[in-house]
């Protein structure tokens, strides 16, 4: 397991920094965000230092998402105010990432919570099918990072 001594999330994984831990196993650590959007805002992090999506291995990625589903179900069953849930990951500063150790946010949502995504001017206009097809082909041609074993 590689941990970066200068990374706050690595310190939490190692038990060397204070955190309100919900769950920990071989692959992931789950703890409360210290600046919650709303009460119940939880983070799932891999137990290995990987700064961004391109450095996140498949086993940790799968386990992060599976754990997030489990945590989301627990939040739904809890007494926390929760009418919906957002799962959110930021990859890179332009996407809003501020701690460069992968983390999956689980954010309980309710009508009037004040949180939301802001869409750009022009959002909602539908591009031509040919443009969508071109974009799909460009992305598909570069899908080599992870082997998707279940595609057949
Ligand atoms: Zn780290």
pLDDT greater than 60 at residue 146:
no
And the tokens for 23? 């769950």
pLDDT greater than 80 at residue 145:
no
Q: Which domain holds residue 99?
A: 8-127
103 is catalytic: yes
Distance 138 CA to ligand 1 centre (A): 32
Distance 114 CA to ligand 1 centre (A): 30
On whether residue 104 sits in a domain, the answer given is yes
Write out pLDDT tens, residues 86-143. Answer: 999 999 999 999 999 999 999 999 999 999 989 999 899 999 999 999 999 999 999 8
Q: Residue 98 sits in a domain of what CATH number? A: 3.30.428.10
Q: Which of 66, 58, 67, 73 is nearest to 24 (CA)?
A: 67
């Amino acid at each position: 397991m590689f941990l970066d001594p200068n990374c706050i999330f690595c310190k939490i994984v190692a038990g060397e920094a204070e955190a309100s831990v919900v769950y920990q196993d071989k692959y992931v650590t789950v703890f409360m965000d210290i600046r919650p959007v709303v009460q119940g805002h939880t983070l799932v992090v891999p137990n290995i230092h990987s700064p961004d999506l391109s450095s996140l291995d498949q086993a940790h990625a799968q386990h992060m998402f599976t754990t997030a589903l489990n945590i989301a179900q627990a939040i739904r069953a809890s007494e926390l105010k929760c009418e919906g849930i957002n799962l959110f990951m930021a990859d890179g500063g332009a996407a809003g990432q501020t701690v460069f150790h992968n983390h999956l946010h689980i954010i309980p949502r309710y009508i009037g919570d004040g949180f939301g995504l802001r869409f750009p001017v022009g959002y909602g206009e539908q591009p031509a099918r040919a443009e969508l097809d071109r974009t799909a082909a460009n992305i598909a041609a570069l899908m080599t990072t992870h082997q998707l074993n279940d595609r057949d």
